[in-house]
Amino acid sequence: MEIRKGRLIQFHGSWQSGLATLEIKDSETGVHEHVPCDNGATVRALEAAFGNVITLGHTANGDGYKGQEVYWSYDEFGLVLEGFTPIADAPPDLAG
């Protein structure tokens, strides 16, 4: 599994479909990746990691995650977000 580093830019999701994308600016290439992810799980993970994400009406309009640096990876098939770890919470060996 390849672990990448990037800055969170924007979350785009719809609770009705369950699908979302997390826009991450790759720290090495500068490319904005639009990473497919599970809407509910990703919103809860962003809220737990950074706060100020879930707003009134259970919407993800808070911007507490924007600009935060994370290590992140795709799943084993390279299709969807496997997970992310805020840089501040990452163990030293994750930085490689």
Cβ partners under 8 Å of residue 34, min gap 6: 12, 21, 22, 23
Say which DSSP state 78 is in: S
Task: State the pTM of this model.
Answer: 0.91
Number of structural domains, the chain? 1
For the stretch 16-70, pLDDT in tens is: 778 999 999 999 999 999 999 999 999 999 999 999 999 887 778 888 999 999 9
20: domain CATH number? 2.40.50
Strand 4-13 with 69-74, pairing: antiparallel
Cβ proximity of 71 and 85 under 8 Å:
yes
Q: What is the pLDDT of residue 48?
A: 96
In this structure, is residue 93 part of a structural domain? Answer: no
Residue 66: inside a domain, yes or no?
Answer: yes
Answer yes or no: is pLDDT of 96 > 70: no
**Distance from C-alpha of 63 to C-alpha of 85, rounded to nearest angstrom:** 17
Q: Where are the alpha helices (DSSP H) in the chain?
A: 39-50
